[in-house]
Amino acid sequence: MLLHLRRILAGLLALVAVGLALLPGSPTVDVLVAAHDLAPGVPLGADDVRLVAMPPSLSPAGTVSETDALGRGLVGAARAGEPLTDARLTAVDPEMSSVAVRLADAWVIGMLRPGSRVDVVGAESHVLAADASVVAVREGEVVVISANREAAHRIAAESLANPVAVTLR
């Protein structure tokens, strides 16, 4: 019974705190957020983002303006309502392509993050792409790598027959 009352009191106090933070007259800042679920690498348009007023204490560091975000892409997927920051944005280059590959050494996956720079190596130590970018890391041994179109085609062809390796830059 006492535990139940404590939980109710904690819930009420949390609601009061949120209400006080959102009271009219409380200082807010405009933060650019995803208007809907967004895929990585696709240029952002005006329909993809919206401004949300929030207390400064809830605003993440590195928020960007609409002008800074439009035309750029995300390094990883974003959910609707997720704040967009400078660390999440990248230039979109029509000469680049992304390819999902299975890595020969699954342990390397734990060291990779979106934005990591890598060299992609195929069989017989042949470099398939130099200074490529990791776009996404998926469960298991799969990583999505962005490289120029020619290198992405080499990576895709090699990965049909053999897993590839990456070296970290």
**Per-residue pLDDT tens over the stretch 93-123:** 878 888 999 999 888 998 998 889 999 999 8
- Cβ contact 32:84 at 8 Å: yes
pLDDT, position 21: 64
For the full predicted model, state whether its pTM sits above 0.75.
no
β-bridge partners, 10: none
Average pLDDT of every residue of the chain:
88
* Residue 165 pLDDT grade (very low, low, confident, very high; cuts 50, 70, 90): very high
Q: Give the helix/strand (H/E) hosting 121.
A: strand 117-121
Give percent of the chain above pLDDT 70. Answer: 96
